[in-house]
């Protein structure tokens, strides 16, 4: 079940840790992605212009020569990538439009969409998280198009994330869309903040899960596990 605590409940506890400890751990402050109240005061085009200017400054501080043909377009390319691609999930306007259909097949068993490949980014170091998500639900009378399951996973992945929050955000979205508690989400992912820096462990993976409704029953959980291992 969801045990997320609101931001105000965790801020004081978080202040007892250094940013290095927070960055190497899996602290996260709530179910919602931390956003400023004025997050959308600028248009996407204005954001891209500002990001390009700021990223150019970062490159210059690192000593890179932006007059080089290979580098001079990088700030704009990065800005476009941030807004239109890898962080597009920060903008609610990009949320997938979902249409539901009557369950005319009278299929009342679990439906699983497995091995949904996604790319996200760790909010502590802004390096990639690469993983697969498995989403299961039991219809309460409506069904969702299969491709929309993938799109919803991608939407929440395309923002700075921690894997625990990503798992819960996906589960809560499907609970709301499908009007059911019978939702299960499993995510297996590699974090480049673990494999490419710090401990530099390239073999480990992180597994998170959300299980609700009928999936909490031992027999349903066993059926789900067997299906995922098929």
Question: For the domain that residue 205 is a member of, what is the CATH number?
Answer: 3.30.1130.10
Tell me the pTM: 0.87
Q: Give the catalytic positions in this structure.
A: 122-125, 163, 191, 193
pLDDT band at 11 (very low <50, low <70, confident <90, very high): very low
List, for residues 70-111, the tens digit of each pLDDT value.
999 999 999 999 999 999 999 999 999 999 999 999 999 999
Instruction: Please determine, for residue 171, whether its predicted confidence score (pLDDT) is greater than 50.
Output: yes
Give the range of the structural domain holding residue 69, as residue numbers without chain letter: 7-94
Fill in the DSSP letter of residue 216: G
Q: Are 172 and 202 in contact (CB under 8 A)?
A: no
pLDDT of residue 195: 87
Both 221 and 183 in one domain: the answer is yes
What per-residue confidence (pLDDT) applies to 115? 97
Which of 66, 94, 122 terminates a domain? The answer is 94
What was the pLDDT predicted at 16? 56
CB atoms under 10 Å from CB of 44, counted, come to: 16
- Domain total in the chain: 2
Q: Do 113 and 161 sit in the same domain of this protein? A: yes
Same domain, yes or no: 189 and 116: yes
User: Pick from 191, 205, 184: which is nearest to 157 by CA?
Assistant: 191
Same domain? 69 vs 155 = no
Residues 53, 154, single domain; the answer is: no
Percent with pLDDT over 90 in the chain: 81
Residue 135 is assigned to a structural domain of this protein: yes
């Amino acid at each position: 079940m969801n045990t997320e605590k609101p931001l105000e409940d965790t801020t004081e506890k978080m202040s007892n840790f250094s940013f290095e400890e927070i960055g190497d751990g899996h602290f996260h402050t709530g179910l919602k992605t931390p956003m400023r109240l004025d997050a959308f005061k600028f248009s996407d085009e204005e954001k891209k212009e500002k990001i390009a200017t700021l990223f150019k400054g970062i490159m210059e501080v690192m000593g890179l020569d932006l007059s080089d043909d290979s580098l001079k377009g990088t700030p704009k390319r990065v800005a476009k990538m941030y807004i239109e691609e890898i962080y597009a999930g920060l903008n609610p306007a990009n949320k997938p439009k979902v249409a539901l259909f009557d369950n005319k097949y009278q299929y009342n068993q679990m439906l699983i969409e497995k091995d949904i490949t996604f790319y996200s980014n760790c909010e502590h170091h802004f390096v990639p998280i690469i993983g697969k998500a498995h989403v299961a639900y039991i219809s309460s009378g409506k069904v969702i198009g299969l491709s929309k399951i993938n799109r919803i996973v991608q939407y929440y992945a395309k923002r700075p994330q921690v894997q625990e929050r990503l798992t819960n955000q996906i589960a809560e979205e499907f609970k709301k869309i499908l009007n059911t508690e019978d939702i299960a989400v499993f995510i297996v992912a590699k974090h480049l903040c673990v494999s490419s820096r710090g401990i530099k462990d390239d073999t480990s993976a992180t597994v998170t899960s959300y299980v609700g409704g009928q999936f909490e029953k031992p027999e349903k959980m066993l059926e789900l596990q067997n299906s995922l291992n098929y």
